[in-house]
Structure 1
Amino acid sequence: MTLDLYGFGPALAAGALMTIKLALSALTVGLVLGLLGALARTSSIKPLRWLGGTYSTLVRGVPELLWVLLIYFGTVNLMHALGELFGKPELELNAFAAGTIALGLCFGSYATEVFRGAILAIPKGHSEAGMALGLSKGRILWRVVLPQMWRISLPGLGNLFMILMKDTALVSVIGLEEIMRRSQIAVTASKQPFTFFMVAAFIYLGLTIIAMIGMHWLEKRAGRGFKRSAA
């Protein structure tokens, strides 16, 4: 028995590729924002702590779908103004860029708390030992804090990435042709909703399994030295 996709197989494959690109782009943006947010929240400077806490609370308090819509439609006037300034009145933020910014913003707000918890879990004596050796604050952060923070935060980041993979479906509402958008187009043309939504579910499941395998490999690699020292 073969599954009849009514010729939409290549379109679904292209949608899966777009989903992967969107997820990885948003992950990159989110990791940067999350690290900056965590460093701000654990800073000794009060305005930075306030800024990091505001970012984390504000973004997490609004649904991801609303952020997608706000960023996509809310930047129309801004992009037009910039376009007129640089002589390109047709300048606009496309769906992929808006989705990357929105999902990256949301991922970063949750990653902020994951990174913050990981930083707080590192014994203060490690940083004090670095200071005793004459290391600068920058080198202590780079050589002592960040490697340990990365190892501790990987399980939490892995869970957030699984959620991010599925949240890419939200960007279909602004026209990005990822898995869900392609599936909806196929359903409209074929009148076979169960078939194509089930195929979409299996594609998401397959991507999630691949991501889980990758995260497991990263966790093992990041914990190699730690496991040897604990043995």
Structure 2
Amino acid sequence: MDKINIIMQYMPHILGGAWLTLAVALLSFSFAFALGLLGANMRLSQHQLISKVAAVYSTVVRGVPDLVWMFLVYYGIQYFLNDFTERYNYESVEISPFMAGVFTISFIFGAYFTETFRGAMLAIPVGQMEAGYAYGLSSWQVLKRITFPLLMRFALPGVKNNWLVLTKATALLSIVGLNDVTRLSQLAGSKEQMSFLFNLVSAFLFLLLTTVSLVVFRKLERQYARGVREVRYEV
């Protein structure tokens, strides 16, 4: 009971860190989603230079560990900023762990979303869009009523997987000093010499986020699968 009481004393702070983790995840997901759409369109561009730039971005970013990118952004950019401000006698600028984390995770997962959306775009039947134009729909109406729903239908499994991995990647931000759920749990565990139990609390909160996310994505999958006949194969 004493250990439970100790954990409960820290729960308000840990839950505050969980909300911060969720904020980082949602912001990063939004930016990465938009960056992925842009990258996928660039990858499928008829212009070779644009297509190659997007291909290099996708390949290089996915080929370097997330932790390395975190160090490069947080410490690397901070180093260049310090050098610039000292050289020209400007006021020093400090990069917050929150902004560095959102930028880095968005940059990393934008590459994964690029490939997810590229595959989904290639799976869309061209005849669907041609039929929309034949019925007199505008480009915006075709995008809204045909292209995007079909894109999400094919991309949703990959989007779900990227989101689940992204939420766990936010734990890396504890290394650069962000007071997220991982860092606060570690600090509390070290102070009370109960690291295992406090890490279990952190793991439970991540698992709770994953469970809620799966429920949301299951509803989205049902929504975007409307009108599609389910085919069952019997062996």
- Return the TM-score normalized by structure 2: 0.87
1:194, distance to aligned residue in structure 2 (A): 1.2
Cα contact 1:79–1:93 (8 A) shared by 2? no
Q: 1:150 to 1:212 in 2, by over 3 A?
A: same
- Tell me the residue number matched to 2:6: 5
Take 2:84 and 2:127, find their aligned partners in 1: how far apart are those partners? 50
1:15, distance to aligned residue in structure 2 (A): 1.1
1:156, distance to aligned residue in structure 2 (A): 1.1
Q: Which runs of 5+ in 1 are unaligned?
A: none
| 2:148 pairs with one of 141, 146, 149 | 146
Q: 1:212 to 1:72 in 2, by over 3 A?
A: same
- Return the TM-score normalized by structure 1: 0.89
| 1:192 pairs with one of 181, 191, 194 | 194
Task: Say how many residue pairs are matched.
Answer: 229
Take 2:44 and 2:202, find their aligned partners in 1: how far apart are those partners? 41
Q: 1:40 to 1:139 in 2, by over 3 A?
A: farther
Cα contact 1:60–1:109 (8 A) shared by 2? yes
SS in 2 for 1:43: coil
Take 1:19 and 1:155, find their aligned partners in 2: how far apart are those partners? 23
SS in 1 for 2:172: helix
| 2:22 pairs with one of 20, 23, 27 | 20
Take 2:78 and 2:65, find their aligned partners in 1: how far apart are those partners? 21
Q: 1:13 to 1:88 in 2, by over 3 A?
A: farther
- Tell me the residue number matched to 2:38: 36
Question: For 1:152-210, what per-residue CA distance to the aligned partner results, in whole angstroms no more than 9, with x for missing partners?
Answer: 11111011111111111011100001111001110121011111011111111111101
- Tell me the residue number matched to 2:203: 201
SS in 2 for 1:198: helix
Q: Are 1:125 and 2:150 an aligned pair?
A: no
Cα contact 1:41–1:50 (8 A) shared by 2? yes
**Mapping of 1:75-224 within 5 angstroms?**
75-80=77-82, 89-133=91-135, 140-224=142-226
Take 1:227 and 1:196, find their aligned partners in 2: how far apart are those partners? 45
Q: Which runs of 5+ in 2 are unaligned?
A: none
Take 2:83 and 2:134, find their aligned partners in 1: how far apart are those partners? 53
Take 1:62 and 1:36, find their aligned partners in 2: how far apart are those partners? 21
Cα contact 1:65–1:170 (8 A) shared by 2? yes
SS in 2 for 1:3: helix
Look up the equivalent residue of 2:36 and give its one-letter code. Answer: G
1:133, distance to aligned residue in structure 2 (A): 4.8
1:84, distance to aligned residue in structure 2 (A): 7.9
CA RMSD of aligned residues (A): 2.6
- Tell me the residue number matched to 2:75: 73
Take 2:150 and 2:89, find their aligned partners in 1: how far apart are those partners? 48
Look up the equivalent residue of 1:47 and give its one-letter code. Answer: L
